[in-house]
Amino acid sequence: MQKKNQFSIIGTGAVGGYYGGLLQRAGFDVHFLVRSDYKQIKTDGLRVDSVNGNFTLPDVQAYNDPSEMPTCNVVIVALKTTANAALKKILPRVVGEHSLVLTLQNGLGGEAEIADIVGADRILAGLCFLCSNKIGPGHISHLDYGMITLGEYRADGEPGGISSRLNQLNKDLQAANIPTQLVEDLALARWKKLVWNIPFNGMSVACDCLTDELVRNPEKRLICEKLMHETAAASNAVCRPIEPDFLAKMIRNTEKMKPYAPSMKLDFDRGNPMEIEAIYGHPIRAAEAAGVNMPETKKLYEKLKKLNPAV
């Protein structure tokens, strides 16, 4: 019988706190790297309010120093991409000889940064379709969804296929009641995620509104649709084509979603730096290198840079 994976969670916020909490609740050995919430979580544990059922983990293996963490089979990177500079010090301390690194980050470029530290051959990536917020120290609110799309990272951008290690990770996540799907083509999946992130993250900040207003207001919705079409055109040039009905599906999903503040709006409202380069800068530059212009996306990118809180 194969031994269960052990998990390290790097970044115990809305994403890492939620998925790490589910893994621990399911009986996996989970170790959390925590920054500002360390004393709270060490004393009172981790609380998750979820549409699927609330739960509290009173005893959490929390650390504020990565050098004190054990080496685990799977290291989950759930930091915002704006904090990736810290990974140069963190990952060498927590990644062992046989560890895999699962990135749960937005946008483009995150895997390449991590590959420079640990090597491309040990990286898996997960794309989260999740409505979850951190609403207090050690307190996560899960509002909707939760699917993770899993794929093998390849530095050349080609499809990585479905490996045995990907299948094993998938089984572990499903055992924790985390919905998953496997993709052979991670790069294309990243661009498909950008089809939603590029319009709805940035427009929620630029218009100071939630997702429901963006799809309900005709003028704002039209801009979002233009941004989606630009992103699909960029994917076609940089990566591979996105099926035409996917864009309409994303709009329909957003119409059904509870009114939601995307992560970029939460960061802006809290005075934190936004993930502008990962979600906008990298895709725009990749598209330009492939001969495709993204004028509406550039406008939004420039506006967000002016609004971005100082680091």
Q: What residues are annotated to the active site? A: 193
| The amino acid at 227 | L
Q: State the residue for tokens 């959490």.
A: 60
Q: Which residues contact 278 (CB under 8 A, 6 or more apart)?
A: 81, 105, 106, 107, 108, 109, 110
- In this structure, what token pair is assigned to residue 104? 């749960």
Cβ atoms of 104 and 74 closer than 8 Å: no
Q: What is the DSSP pairing of strand 55-57 with strand 46-50? A: antiparallel
Q: What is the DSSP pairing of strand 55-57 with strand 139-152? A: unpaired
Q: At residue 100, what are phi and psi to the nearest 5 degrees?
A: -105, 150
| DSSP of 110-138 | HHHHHHHHH-GGGEEEEEEEEEEEEEETT
Q: Which residues contact 253 (CB under 8 A, 6 or more apart)?
A: none
Gyration radius of the chain over CA positions: 19
Q: Residue 300, Cβ neighbours under 10 Å: how many? A: 25
- Termini Cα distance of the chain: 48
Q: Alpha carbon of 295 to those of 23, 190, 227, 251: distances in Å? A: 42, 20, 9, 21
Task: Please tell me whether residue 19 adopts helix, strand or coil conformation.
Answer: helix
